[in-house]
Homo-oligomer: A and B are copies of this chain.
């Protein structure tokens, strides 16, 4: 366990991040006052978390052999904090002291052989094993929703950057490395993975790979998949190592079977990742549009232009107001280019020209020279990265604050967006009386956007999970019916299963189950995720 695991504070067992980084009382007041404007009449009474030691957590049902005992923890707070992800419904259930499906033990392998030994033991004893990176799942991906005994397999001690290949710009990194740690280790070589999901501080390479996480780049390298050169996976049937290759057409890609397998086929222990040179040039423009449809058309044209912006984030008016602090009725398009090799002004100029053709006007522009050390994405990132703390503060006060995300092709976006927004608004109004639905594009492709929706609604304390579940059901149906994906980058976990099962072609489902049966014959790996137990 290296320094990188030290997240600069005490991890919250019930909510996001560290206790120390949670909002200050002043920040909470400001947030509450701002939210009150949006949700007038809501009761903002605070419901602080219970003390873990006061909760009726059942005793562990697992007897670990002496040879492995040192790898397992039965500490109650440890078990509680590892048994749920960090979705709104996870946080609220924690706040209520709900102890359903608490894992019996938490295992922390120190070596890959430990992983093998733990899988052997759990397989022979029929103990469910949930591979665990940073625990930031928002889809029930790390929650052992099983009747029998279950262990969490936390990879945190396998977190080293083992090799750096400067020439090919790649590094061999252990799966348990958290974002900031691996970036610190790559920095001396002038390299960066440049994968910055919102969970960056509290999620790991292995988690990103297992869930096909979406990251920094709005175009081209949107998912961690594209940054993956080779993967090493410990399965109950043996260890799988793919060859380091920049490209290959030798049969179906082995890596692509494990990418997105969410801990059901094996435990990813390390990977060779493709890196970037640290950018020296950066340009960003914020562009306002009176009309969301025109903004969408501009965004599509930029996505199809071959300019490949690093950032291309479209915010609808509600999103602009709430999350970019704009006092506008405008849609806001943030376009950015970056390069380690050359100035990218010409690229931005053309993107701005396209936006102008669709009625967009530049609100601000920022250029960064070769000698400017700041990272153009840093400012936005620090605000973005603190959003989950704000979510927690509101969740404690009975506000329903959650997001859902998808992707669809451009031709159907207008209908799709209208249907999904209508379904969300209708559900919010029905369930909560009122509420706000926002939309932004997190990633854009030549053939379609990845819209990301936010919901803010006044919940009834004690019912907010059930209320959210009802809203989620309605929006998921709308997404499925209108041909979107049930997830663009949040993964499937347990919570997206009904819609994932409809989306997934049946013959592929049969193939995946057959693969699972041969790689995990005891069926102990993350039961219920992707495939029925």
Contact = CB atoms under 8 A, between A and B. Distances in A.
Interface of A: 165, 167-170, 211-214, 220, 222-223, 229, 233, 235, 237-254, 256-262, 265-266, 274, 277, 300, 304-308, 339-342, 346, 350, 354, 407-411, 443, 445-450, 483-492, 496, 500, 503-508, 510-515, 517-519, 530
Contacts of A504: 250-251, 254
Contacts of A307: 341-342
A247 B511 CA distance: 21
Interface of A, helix, strand, loop or mixed by DSSP:
loop
A528 to B, nearest CB: 13
A512 to B, nearest CB: 7
A101 to B, nearest CB: 22
Nearest to A515: B511
A223 B250 CA distance: 12
Nearest to A245: B485
Given A247-B448, A511-B515, 11 more contacts: A165-B409, A211-B249, A233-B507, A237-B507, A242-B508, A247-B407, A248-B407, A250-B485, A250-B492, A305-B341, A511-B519
A430 B258 CA distance: 43
Contact of A274 (B165, B238, B446, B506): B446
Contacts of A484: 245
A238 B519 contact: no
A256 B254 contact: no
A447 B229 contact: yes
List the 7 closest A-B pairs by CB distance, nearest first.
Answer: A246-B448, A246-B445, A212-B249, A511-B515, A256-B256, A240-B505, A514-B514
Given A341-B305, A448-B245, A514 B518 contact: yes
A508 B257 contact: yes
Given A257-B508, A258-B252, A265-B511, A445 B247 contact: yes
B245 A505 contact: no
B409 A246 contact: yes
Contact of A251 (B249, B340, B492, B519): B492
A169 B244 contact: no
A239 to B, nearest CB: 7
B165 A505 contact: no
A300 to B, nearest CB: 8
A247 B443 contact: yes
Contact of A254 (B229, B304, B505): B505
A510 B488 CA distance: 29
A308 B233 CA distance: 32
A251 B261 contact: yes
A505 B252 CA distance: 12
A340 B333 CA distance: 23
Nearest to A229: B447
6 contacts: A250-B496, A250-B500, A253-B256, A304-B341, A305-B342, A346-B346
A505 B513 CA distance: 19
A506 B372 CA distance: 48
Nearest to A254: B508
B308 A308 contact: yes
A343 to B, nearest CB: 9
Contact of A411 (B167, B213, B242): B167
A249 B409 contact: no
A248 B487 contact: yes
A410 B166 CA distance: 10
A155 to B, nearest CB: 19
Nearest to A304: B169
A443 to B, nearest CB: 6
A249 B167 contact: no
A490 B247 CA distance: 12
